[in-house]
Amino acid sequence: MQVMLGIGLLLALPAWAEFEAVDRDGRIEIRDGEKLVFGWQVAPLDNPKGGEVFAASAFIHPLCTPSGFELTSIQPDDHLHHLGLWWPWKMLTVDGKKHITWEMQEKQGQHVAVAAKVVEKSADEVLIEATNRSLIGEAGVDRRPVLDEQVRLRFFRIGKDAYGLDIHITQQPVRGIDVTVTRYHYSGLSWRGASEWTKENSVMLTSAGLDRDHANGNPANWVTVEGTTPRGRATMLMMSAAAKDDGRAERLRVWDSKMHGGAPFVNFNPVMGDSIALKPEHKEVSDRHYRLVIADRSIAADEVDRLWGEWGGR
């Protein structure tokens, strides 16, 4: 699998280092000076924990703050299929049969990368376009593609202490196949947070004013998780444009303080209530937009409300 880099014009050199984007061993990496701050996995994961069944792709890791604090973790011992920032559907229904594409170890299907390229780059911004695909069936036996996906990833600088990441996901069934995204309590865009964070040193807040013990199952425009770092504090802000796009916010699947010690897990889920056929008119599954802010500081709720209000979504 070849990863292509198309480099655009550079902006004037700012007070900080320029972004660099390189293909290293099947992963598009963004470096800020000497620091690796972003990785998009294109090739199957090499030597994964748990064996070849976990040779995953199409996920973001690492995702770091400007100081280098890593806000994603992959393959934690409690969930070897958790992969930083990733978004397979839990289940797809094809020809009346449900297929799990989230837990690859179930050997029913998988969401995989096909290709990726850097299409624009400046000192403070990198734009990546990626093609992914959902497959059903056991690898090497009867696996077939049923869902095609295009993704635009825009990684950009927000001052000296934060990065932004825009994610635009569009999906359609492979021609001639009817696909339904199956109702389940977790599915879609998900983040497995910093391995150092627990209920003891991190806090969660949603746009509805709910904490980690009360947020699960409720709709939200945004969610923040803030915790300690060796240099102070860091925040992961995740915003969903669903309420802007079709008037209905996605619902959250999060872990409370009793689950895995309060390890940070956040999932924006459009199919928590109902299954939805994957069709262009059903934009809640076929055309989704998210913005993340990755900061080396606290972000107060009123600032988040302002950021969400100013963001256009599409």
Domain count, the chain: 1
Residues of the chain with pLDDT under 70: 1-15, 314
pLDDT of residue 141: 74
User: Comparing C-alpha atoms, which of 89, 30, 67, 45 is closest to residue 285?
Assistant: 89
User: What is the spatial distance between Cα 138 and Cα 127, in angstroms, rounded to a whole number?
Assistant: 33
What is the predicted pLDDT for the residue at 6? 37
Residue-wise pLDDT for 252-288, tens only, equals: 999 999 999 999 999 999 999 999 999 999 999 999 9
Q: Which domain holds residue 222?
A: 4-310
Residue-level pLDDT at 9:
34
Number of residues assigned to the chain: 314
Q: What is the CATH number of the domain that holds 87?
A: 2.70.98
- pLDDT attached to residue 15: 63
Give the residue carrying structure tokens 């964070």.
Answer: 197
